[in-house]
Amino acid sequence: MGQVVWITGASSGLGLHTAQALARNGFTVVAGARSFGKGKKAEGCQCLPLDVTDQKSIDAFAAEALRLQGTPDILVNCAGMLILGACESYALSELRQVMETNFLGQAAMISKVMPLMREKGKGRIVNFSSINGLLGIPFEGAYTASKHAVEGYSECLSYEARPFGIEVMLVEPGDHRSGSAAYRKHSLGMTEDSPYKAAFAAGTAQIAHDEATGSDPDILGEKIARALKRKRLPRRLRIAKADQHLAVVLHDLLLPGLFERIIGPYYGKKKSS
């Protein structure tokens, strides 16, 4: 039997591609997502219902996964969602929903597996961040805040977990062709009379274009499988096109005002496809 992986958010997009890549590479994959309770499946994986925002659901997932395959060697925290909107216009409930799924959901899963891994004296935790965990872009305020939280939390966890033999890796994808439009909601605050209407239309068109022309999610899955086979787990795995790597470097090097003047107009131009 291969190493046992628990992976969240494995019913679509990068989570599904990663779960299937891990199964192809000989890992024993227990996959969780809400829609696994409604008959959806991920090839090669044992699929269990899981809502990472609900502690009872996490407890039930863990109990069943433990019964099926025993203590996990690896946790991959991939469940995520996005609400596009202007910072000023988000409802607090929308900000909470994004934080609860993307950040608190990861934290709850980490708290669930850490005692199991500590008892075993080893383990690996892989947390999905994003290029947005490293820099902000217009109309992704809620998502960017949640991914910055993931970055900070994972760095702290890495210090704390390593003495127990547990390694932590952040995955920082750039745009990928995940085809997950259902998970890209627009904020209720983006009404017809919003002062941001034109800027929002241009910005979201650019975001949609970048995703549609993004990287291949199968390659990301294979890169994560390769990293997990290494003797030492890298602290960070950034998987992005060259221009997004460059954006992160420039973000850290340039004066903030200059970076904003370069990136701002990029999200202000409309794309037709």
Ligand X SMILES: NC(=O)c1ccc[n+]([C@@H]2O[C@H](COP(=O)([O-])OP(=O)(O)OC[C@H]3O[C@@H](n4cnc5c(N)ncnc54)[C@H](OP(=O)(O)O)[C@@H]3O)[C@@H](O)[C@H]2O)c1
Nearer to ligand X, 163 or 181 (CB): 181
By CB under 6 A, residue 263 contacts ligand X: no
By CB under 6 A, residue 175 contacts ligand X: yes
Q: Which residue in 90, 143, 153, 267 is the catalytic one?
A: 143
Within 10 A of 156 (CB to CB), how many other CB atoms are there?
A: 10
Candidate list 85, 173, 203, 221; residue touching ligand X; CB under 6 A: 173
CB of 177 to ligand X, least distance (A): 8
With CB atoms as reference, the residue minimizing the distance to ligand X is: 13
Candidate list 81, 114, 137, 247; residue touching ligand X; CB under 6 A: 81
By CB under 6 A, residue 34 contacts ligand X: yes
N-terminal to C-terminal alpha carbon distance within the chain: 45
Nearer to ligand X, 1 or 249 (CB): 249
The pairing of strands 123-128 and 74-77 is: parallel
Nearer to ligand X, 35 or 194 (CB): 35
| Helix (H), strand (E), coil (C) string for the chain | CCCEEEEECCCCHHHHHHHHHHHHCCCEEEEEEHHHHHCCCCCCCEEEECCCCCHHHHHHHHHHHHHHHCCCCEEEECCCCEEEECHHHCCHHHHHHHHHHHHHHHHHHHHHHHHHHHHHCCEEEEEECCHHHCCCCCCEHHHHHHHHHHHHHHHHHHHHHHHHCEEEEEEEECCECCCCHHHEEECCCCCCCCCCHHHHHHHHHHHHHHHHCCECHHHHHHHHHHHHHCCCCCCEEEECCHHHHHHHHHHHHCCHHHHHHHHHHHHHCCCCC
| Interface segment toward ligand X; rule CB under 6 A; list 5-13, 153-161, 195-203, 260-268 | 5-13
Q: Which of residues 131-170 bind ligand X (CB under 6 A)?
A: none
Nearer to ligand X, 123 or 174 (CB): 174
> Are 167 and 161 a contacting pair, CB within 8 Å?
yes
By CB under 6 A, residue 8 contacts ligand X: yes
> Are 27 and 76 a contacting pair, CB within 8 Å?
no
Size of the site for ligand X (CB under 6 A): 31
Candidate list 15, 72, 123, 136; residue touching ligand X; CB under 6 A: 15
Q: Which residue in 57, 89, 130, 147 is the catalytic one?
A: 147
Tell me whether residue 11 is one of the annotated catalytic residues: yes
By CB under 6 A, residue 123 contacts ligand X: no
Q: Which of residues 196-255 bind ligand X (CB under 6 A)?
A: 211, 214
| Interface segment toward ligand X; rule CB under 6 A; list 29-37, 107-115, 116-124, 263-271 | 29-37
Tell me whether residue 147 is one of the annotated catalytic residues: yes
Residues contributing to the site for ligand X (CB under 6 A): 8-15, 33-35, 50-53, 78-81, 101, 105, 128, 130, 173, 175-176, 178, 180, 183, 211, 214
Catalytic residue IDs:
11, 129, 143, 147
